[in-house]
Chains A and B, each alone.
Chain A
């Protein structure tokens, strides 16, 4: 039977392709039509989707959802974000102005992917749009997911659903970029319905570049994961670094699959002798291995600096990379939790007392701020989706968890402060808080 193993191998290859597709796109939940109910004085109808958990305060009339990846390495962070949102609503007595509210957390990730999943994001957005009780959505965590959800919520009937993100940093969601038709492609109706409480990546890239300059970095090699967020923040970093006179030796994509060894990649980079490595990506994309192999080949992070954006700014990075994490710099939008004052400081101590987490993740106060923005918009509205969306813009939020800030007509916050952390003795500690120079923050006209 020494036949050429032809046909069997072809069948195998075909099945392989199918298996690949299944592994990448699995886990979507079909959404159903939300039926009846809503409005008036009656209780909200829960979103009919298996990705959504049960409704908190189910007697409220207006339903606010949250849309975050609850599986995988960001789950430590996103669990706290839902707790923060719920705490803000509880403190408000489940009321926004004259309306009573209900809260339903939903999940935009799948266990298999361990991160946000495009099919789930789309299905979630459709489920919200079809449930007339839903008036606002707090989310998403990942910009790529928001790119899918914003247009669906924008076209919802009757009226666009307000969406406030505590963590999306891709600039194109609210303003022009180098990408065609941004941001108008996210708003098919022409009316805006999306705002965020974090400064976008055109602030984060320059903040990391200024940090690099401060560390005496003369040349840098950039790696990116090819995704909207990772490649985007890498590009903003590259542009700012060039303006600061730092030599950019390259900006190339890396393979994000589990089990990939990056030592060859770093050996290639070592031949270019960079002073620093910048990675535009996420910790859940084999990031721990990337950091370990960087240290194995190029030496520790004091010798060749490692600069990371907020996709890595979680305690998970320290767990996954182990000893190799020591000395890495990781940025995150906003002010660190231990430097919040006033209402922010109160929030942090209350949160610590109530949930007793081992560590408050950086986006937790931002989730609280997003919830406050939503409450204020509902209170100022007539209770309809369109009116709530409209009231997001031009709003001045005073005494919030993040202090006083306002949301402009594009949906961006006027707070541009960024925090850069450094990993020391197995912990992320604040290295410095800075607002990047205005000349480094790239902006493009809306398209």
Chain B
């Protein structure tokens, strides 16, 4: 870790001659320009369809955002990509199915005043479970390796990911875990014959306050200050009397809690989950975090909404869209392009508040 932030960010490919920076900038604008043309072209082509697909993309993006924040929080504080995070999210969805459907007997036919408090109970259980799980993972798999080379905890994280996946397969089996529609599915309005449902709105309405609360916590509270201090310099923080281990554990708890909430929202929205859910979704969320500038909270949320939109546009619109089977390729191409041309991400350069 280099001390101080006075040194300017060096572009990742600093070995290339200086003019490559200009090429870099031009290419970035070309890519952004093409993206804008693509979006506007699709809007003109089918405006109603565009709006309904846009709303869907926002909903998907909100779920990705909650997962992406977990990646970014942890990266911000100990510079580790916690690969097990997608699987903590998967466990959140599994626990949500067990608690809401098997324990509390929710099946979508009860009145809202019965359902709402029981969903709240489920949320609390999911959040508590995933926060505990994430803290336990940190304690067992990452803390002993805190001073080891960067690659060691990264490999451990992948190991944890497989352990969590196989544990879920052991408990729940390799088949899908279906859940009845518990969130209200009534249409709020329709655009071009496509209904925008209450549950889509609910996802957005739950995600936004969570994001705001998280930002407040990191920016304006004592605990948040401690997190930022630990991120900047662990030794100096320790000298200032900050309990570094506790602060890191708190960050993992926060990330786990977000994953738990995301798992619940996902399974309530999608109505099924499986032991390997964390894989593709975790990678999408990771890409979102990198796209926004990893370590940057606002960036992760923005990146996630963008990924959600790109996915929805690619699958739901018809003007120059490759289609559903290309979504993964498209999103990982974005990951590679960002890593090559803009490793600091979209908002990376304006990051005074890396948590």
Which of chain B's residues have a CB closer than 8 A to the CB of A13? 335-336, 339
Q: Is the CB of A264 within 8 A of B325?
A: no
Residue among A12, A71, A226, A322 making CB contact with B174, cutoff 8 Å: A71
For residue B194, give the distance in angstroms from its CB to the closest CB of chain A: 5
Q: Is the CB of A288 within 8 A of B272?
A: yes
Q: Is the CB of B231 within 8 A of A1?
A: yes
Q: Is the CB of B324 within 8 A of A111?
A: no
For residue A190, give the distance in angstroms from its CB to the closest CB of chain B: 37
Q: Is A215 an interface residue (CB 8 A)?
A: no
Given contacts A4-B11, A5-B344, A320-B176, 10 further A-B contacts (CB under 8 A): A1-B2, A4-B344, A8-B150, A15-B155, A16-B286, A252-B324, A259-B281, A288-B272, A289-B270, A323-B180
Residue among A8, A12, A259, A263 making CB contact with B280, cutoff 8 Å: A259
**Interface stretch (choices B24-32, B113-121, B211-219, B313-321):** B313-321
For chain A residues 62-77, which have a beta carbon within 8 Å of chain B?
71-73
For chain A residues 253-268, which have a beta carbon within 8 Å of chain B?
253-255, 257-265, 267-268
Smallest Cβ-Cβ distance to B90: which chain A residue:
A259
For residue B320, give the distance in angstroms from its CB to the closest CB of chain A: 13
**11 CB-based A-B contacts, threshold 8 Å:** A1-B232, A4-B348, A8-B81, A11-B151, A72-B175, A252-B323, A253-B325, A259-B273, A289-B272, A296-B197, A323-B180
Q: Is A114 an interface residue (CB 8 A)?
A: yes
The interface bits of chain B over 51-84 (1 if a CB of A lies within 8 angstroms of the residue's CB, else 0) are: 0110011001000000000000001000101010
Interface of A is mostly: helix
Q: Is B9 an interface residue (CB 8 A)?
A: yes
Residue among A11, A23, A254 making CB contact with B154, cutoff 8 Å: A11
Q: B-contacting residues of A (Cβ < 8 Å)?
A: 1-6, 8-13, 15-16, 19, 23, 71-73, 111-112, 114, 226, 252-255, 257-265, 267-268, 270-271, 288-289, 292, 296-297, 316, 319-320, 322-323
Q: Is B137 an interface residue (CB 8 A)?
A: no
Which of chain B's residues have a CB closer than 8 A to the CB of A12? 81, 154
Q: Is B46 an interface residue (CB 8 A)?
A: yes
- Size of interface on B: residues with Cβ below 8 Å to A: 77
Residue among B3, B294, B328 making CB contact with A1, cutoff 8 Å: B3
The interface bits of chain B over 199-240 (1 if a CB of A lies within 8 angstroms of the residue's CB, else 0) are: 000000000000000000000000000000001110000000
Q: Which 8 A-B pairs have the closest CB atoms?
A: A264-B316, A253-B325, A264-B315, A6-B12, A264-B312, A2-B5, A267-B316, A268-B316
Which of chain A's residues have a CB closer than 8 A to the CB of B343? 4-6, 9
Q: Is B311 an interface residue (CB 8 A)?
A: yes
Which of chain B's residues have a CB closer than 8 A to the CB of A6? 12, 343
Residue among A112, A114, A255 making CB contact with B175, cutoff 8 Å: A114
Q: Is the CB of A3 within 8 A of B280?
A: no
Q: Is B169 an interface residue (CB 8 A)?
A: yes
Inter-chain CA distance A296–B44, complex, in Å, is 26
Q: Is the CB of A2 within 8 A of B10?
A: no
Q: Is the CB of A267 within 8 A of B233?
A: no
Q: Is the CB of A4 within 8 A of B327?
A: no
Inter-chain CA distance A9–B46, complex, in Å, is 38
Among B197, B323, B348, find the residue whose CB has the most chain A CB atoms closer than 10 A: B323
Smallest Cβ-Cβ distance to B197: which chain A residue:
A296
For residue A248, give the distance in angstroms from its CB to the closest CB of chain B: 16
Q: Is B274 an interface residue (CB 8 A)?
A: yes
The interface bits of chain B over 17-61 (1 if a CB of A lies within 8 angstroms of the residue's CB, else 0) are: 000000000000000000000000000001001001100110010
For chain B residues 115-156, which have a beta carbon within 8 Å of chain A?
150-151, 154-155
Inter-chain CA distance A51–B99, complex, in Å, is 36
For residue B169, give the distance in angstroms from its CB to the closest CB of chain A: 7
Smallest Cβ-Cβ distance to A268: which chain B residue:
B316
Which of chain A's residues have a CB closer than 8 A to the CB of B323? 252-253, 265
Inter-chain CA distance A258–B266, complex, in Å, is 12
A15-B154 contact given A2-B9, A4-B10, A252-B323, CB 8 Å threshold? yes
For residue B321, give the distance in angstroms from its CB to the closest CB of chain A: 8
Smallest Cβ-Cβ distance to A6: which chain B residue:
B12
Q: Is the CB of B175 within 8 A of A265?
A: no
For residue B10, give the distance in angstroms from its CB to the closest CB of chain A: 7
Inter-chain CA distance A8–B180, complex, in Å, is 42
